[in-house]
Amino acid sequence: MTDALYTADIDMAPLKHWKLGLVGYGNHGRSHALCLRDSGAEQIKIALREGSPSRAKAEADGFEVVSLAEVAAWADAIALLAADEAHREIWTTAIAPNRKPGQALILCHGFSIHYRLIEPPADADVILAAAKGPGGAVRQEFEKGGGLIGFWAVHQNASGRARDLALAYLAGIGSGNVGIFETTFREETVSDLFGEQVVLVGGLVALAKASYQRLVAAGVSERMAYIDCVHEIKYLADLMQAQGIAGMYEAISDTAEFGARLIEDDIAGPELNAAFDKAMAAIEDGSFARKWVETYEAGNAMVEDRARDKTLAIEAAGADLRSRLYRASK
């Protein structure tokens, strides 16, 4: 494992002298653009599709907005910050046919390179500059004087300067304030997908829903069940982030720790391991990526799922609780 690098260790010249084209102005795009500008990047253009609802926001923030084809012909480096599942279409139809020779490609996730959705030409530096956390948190932590932990990797080093660009980019979005580490496109992709599927999103939601339903079935009120199975997750997550698992156990009540240790092995049993193995196999063999990109390109991905979520009893309980908790501050 490599040691962390910090802004003081990094040459920021690539950030200040290169023409940077940022594709997308959602959570990642806006956060990156604002932080890079504040860090000294003088030449930034935002590339958006015709009719994009993000155009007004980008222009209000003081950025020049151009088409995908225009930024491909102008930029020394393009940061592809649109959703991973859209990369193949964007690259094939807009960037590849119009790109400036020798142009570098920057990704904030390894997904589209690892699964070969994009096949960059040999003259391109291809780098990973991944700030580990939600896109919006990049800007939030930067404004506090910090940043998100950063990871860099080089897939192609055509210019011999790919590492320098990756490090300068990550330092520019604040990661140099907390620590930047080396990784690979494969490691970042597999870890990111597995973590969000089985713990951070999929696993967490499954546990919250199932435990809420079990408490309600036992006669507990929906409000109380929601508080104990959903609302309090944040406090425990904050403890683990700040103090680790051992520190979290030390901070909570002995009753909670004793009960957790009794049931932990039962939850993490053969059925859970089988679900983990299934998820990992789909990530490693590319079948998850293929299914997701095909679903996205077919249109209307998850529309029915999102509509169904809004009808769940657990959502109604949460909405009611939040409306009562925050009523005084409105």
Q: How far apart are the first and last CA of the chain?
A: 49
What order of strands is seen across the sheet that includes strand 77-80?
Answer: 64-66, 44-47, 20-23, 77-80, 104-107, 126-131, 150-156, 180-182
Burial 238-277 (b: 16+ CB within 10 A, else e): ebeeeeeeeebbeeeeeeeeeeeeeeeeeeeeeeeeeebe
In this structure, are residues 24 and 3 in contact, taking their beta carbons and an 8 Å threshold? no
The whole-angstrom separation of Cα 39 and Cα 42 is 9
Opening angle at CA 187, ends 184 and 192, nearest 5: 125
Residue 326 neighbours by CB distance under 10 Å? 9
Catalytic: which of 32, 109, 114, 155? 109
CA-wise closest residue to 125 among 141, 144, 151, 107: 107
Measured at the alpha carbon of residue 238, what is the angle toward residues 8 and 203, in degrees to the nearest 5? 110
Catalytic residue status for 109: yes
Beta strands in 174-219 (DSSP E): 180-182
What are the CA-CA distances from residue 128 to residues 78, 134, 157, 260, 314 (Å)?
A: 12, 16, 12, 38, 38
Length of the chain, in residues: 330
Give the DSSP letter string of 87-145. Answer: HHHHIIIIITTTPPTT-EEEESSSHHHHTTS----TT--EEEEEESS-HHHHHHHHHTT
Please give the positions annotated as active site.
109
